[in-house]
């Protein structure tokens, strides 16, 4: 089955991973800007990172027949540095016309600090000003419930934000319902040590249905498994779910969400182009 990984950090992965993903049916991926495993020293360091995301990774992916898309921002972990964040935000418009940029992300909260919230709101302004979609990182473990609530409040308080163009990622059992109820898309991150396992993700699909639900591997610098989406496909088949239902979650839903970005010039492997609806 063809699938799309809507959230995977390929700058952290070796080229062999691209080959494996391609052989497993991955036909496109989106890579939000994130933490690099260390704090960067200057805004110029982000400029190089954005070039890596918009120039280097699409070429690396194309060698294995995979289309690579990306999202730009300063991540929540480094966003506690307000001065640096503002320099990075000021630079982002230079990159918004790059052909693989789908929007602003992954913005969010890490420790739910005041500075993080300030920079979240400034990213939101940027997205609204440039009519960009938004991809959101929600905090981990004990900070997730409160952080998700803070994020949803900031988004729903602003009537200019269209929830159907916002993806809230790393949802779990205790946060998915409020995300979907408010009209947002919800992403389940399949992670070996925290977040969601393939079995828990299958439970969530069974409880809430497939509408506006996505599944991703994160595949980042920490312990993670870039082939976690095929693991979910396997788990869903093992439970007897239809191929149509599985395909909706791992393939058609990402296409539907991303198609709201003007730069989503995706070509299905069967050769039929998917026109952007923006």
Query: What residues make contact with Zn ion under the rule CB under 5 A?
Result: 34
258 CB-side CA count, 13 A: 32
CB 107 → Zn ion: shortest distance, Å? 11
User: Helix, strand, coil % (nearest 5) of the chain?
Assistant: 45, 15, 35
Q: Which of 46, 65, 68 is nearest to 55 (CA)?
A: 68
Nearest residue (CB) to Zn ion, 34 versus 49? 34
| Residue 168 β-bridge partners | 136, 186
Nearest residue (CB) to Zn ion, 36 versus 126? 36
The dihedrals phi and psi of 187, each to the nearest 5 degrees, come to -110, 130
Helix or strand or coil: residue 58? helix
Nearest residue (CB) to Zn ion, 18 versus 34? 34
CB 248 → Zn ion: shortest distance, Å? 23
Nearest residue (CB) to Zn ion, 34 versus 120? 34
Nearest residue (CB) to Zn ion, 70 versus 246? 70
CB 32 → Zn ion: shortest distance, Å? 5
Nearest residue (CB) to Zn ion, 74 versus 246? 74
Nearest residue (CB) to Zn ion, 10 versus 246? 10
Nearest residue (CB) to Zn ion, 52 versus 276? 52
Task: Assign 3-class secondary structure to 135-166.
Answer: EEECCCHHHHHHHHHHHHHHHHCCCCCCHHHE
Q: In whole angstroms, what is the distance from residue 99 CA to residue 55 CA?
A: 9
Asked whether the CA dihedral 256, 72, 69, 11 is positive or negative, the reply is negative
Buried b / exposed e over 110-132, threshold 16 CB at 10 Å, is bebeeebbebbebbbebbeeeeb
Under a CB-based contact definition with an 8 Å cutoff, are residues 105 and 76 in contact?
no
The dihedrals phi and psi of 219, each to the nearest 5 degrees, come to 35, 65
CB 218 → Zn ion: shortest distance, Å? 5
CB 33 → Zn ion: shortest distance, Å? 9
Which uninterrupted H or E stretch holds 73?
none
CB 216 → Zn ion: shortest distance, Å? 8
Under a CB-based contact definition with an 8 Å cutoff, are residues 105 and 71 in contact?
yes
CB 243 → Zn ion: shortest distance, Å? 28
CB 173 → Zn ion: shortest distance, Å? 20
């Amino acid at each position: 089955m063809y699938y799309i990984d809507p959230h995977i950090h390929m700058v952290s992965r070796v080229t062999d991973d691209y080959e494996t993903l391609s052989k497993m049916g991955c036909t496109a991926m989106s890579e939000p800007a994130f933490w690099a495993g260390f704090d960067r020293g200057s805004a110029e360091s982000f400029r190089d990172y954005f070039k890596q995301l918009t120039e280097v990774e699409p070429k690396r992916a194309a060698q294995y027949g995979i289309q690579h898309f990306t999202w730009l921002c300063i991540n929540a972990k480094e966003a506690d540095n307000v001065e640096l964040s503002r320099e990075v935000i000021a630079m982002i418009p230079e990159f918004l016309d790059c052909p693989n940029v789908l929007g602003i992300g992954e913005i969010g909260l890490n420790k739910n600090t005041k500075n993080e919230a300030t920079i979240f709101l400034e990213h939101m302004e940027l997205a609204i000003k440039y009519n960009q979609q938004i991809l959101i990182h929600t905090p981990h473990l004990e900070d997730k419930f409160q952080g998700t609530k803070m994020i949803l409040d900031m988004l729903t308080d602003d009537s200019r934000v269209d929830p159907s163009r916002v993806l809230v990622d790393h949802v779990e059992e205790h946060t998915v319902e409020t995300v979907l109820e408010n009209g947002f898309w919800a992403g389940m991150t399949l992670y070996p040590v925290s977040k969601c396992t393939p079995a828990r993700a299958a439970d969530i699909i069974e409880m809430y249905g497939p509408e506006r639900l996505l599944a991703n591997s994160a595949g980042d610098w920490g312990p993670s498994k870039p082939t976690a989406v095929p693991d979910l496909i396997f788990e869903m088949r093992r439970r007897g779910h239809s191929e149509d239902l599985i395909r909706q979650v791992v393939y058609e839903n990402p296409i539907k969400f991303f198609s709201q970005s003007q730069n989503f010039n995706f070509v299905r492997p069967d050769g039929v182009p998917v026109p952007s609806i923006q």
